[in-house]
Amino acid sequence: METGSWAIVVPGHSVAGRVSGRCRRVLAVAADLAERRAPRVVVFTGWAAAGARTEAEQMLDAWPGRRDVELLAELTARTTAENASRSLPPLLERGIREAAVVCSAVHAPRVRYLFCALYPRFGVDCQVVPARTTPTPAAVAWELAAATVARRQRRTALAELEAALRV
């Protein structure tokens, strides 16, 4: 990937309304990647319950990486599929053609299924960069449960993108 022509995307994860330790580890991996390969933009994506600060805002505040790149918070995505569909339009607006999505290792298969199915349809190459994190039983159970709805969510996300981008 050429410097400045690519982006880093970080889907959020929180526990009880606060960015999780796992998410902080993902941020550290993303920051390290940004140091090595100067992206044009880093997108943090994630929502919050009413009245709380969003995951994206919290990640932006906690970002340990470089500040000489554009840092963008996407505040509305509530699912991983929405992280994919709602982070893509800002990338396209900036002429991004390659993106690295940084997530926890336990989340990587679903991220790959969703992001890497949607991004290339709109001309953005996608790679998933898993951060080494210890999967908790709850995280594994969550991913297994979420896998049962991933196909439907991917179809919904694609329809949302097609409508937003008028494809």
CA 127 → CA 7, 117, 119, distances in Å? 11, 11, 10
Q: What residue has token string 């309304």?
A: 17
Residue 159, number of CB atoms within 10 A of its CB: 11
Q: What is the pTM of this model?
A: 0.94
Per-residue pLDDT, 1: 42
Structure tokens at 89: 């339009």
Q: How many CA atoms lie within 13 Å of 64's alpha carbon, on the beta-carbon side?
A: 11
Q: What is the DSSP letter of 122?
A: G
SS (H, E, C) 6-32: EEEEEECCEECCEECHHHHHHHHHHHH
| Residue closest to 95 by CA, chosen among 25, 5, 2 | 5
Per-residue pLDDT, 92: 97
Measured distance CA(55)–CA(36) in Å, rounded: 25
Domain ranges of the chain: 6-165
Q: What is the DSSP letter of 48?
A: -
In terms of CATH architecture, what is 6-165? 3-Layer(aba) Sandwich (3.40)
pLDDT in tens, the chain (167 residues): 444 589 999 999 988 888 999 999 999 999 999 999 999 999 999 998 777 899 999 999 999 999 999 999 999 999 999 999 999 999 999 999 999 999 999 999 999 999 999 999 999 999 999 999 998 999 999 999 999 999 999 999 999 999 998 86
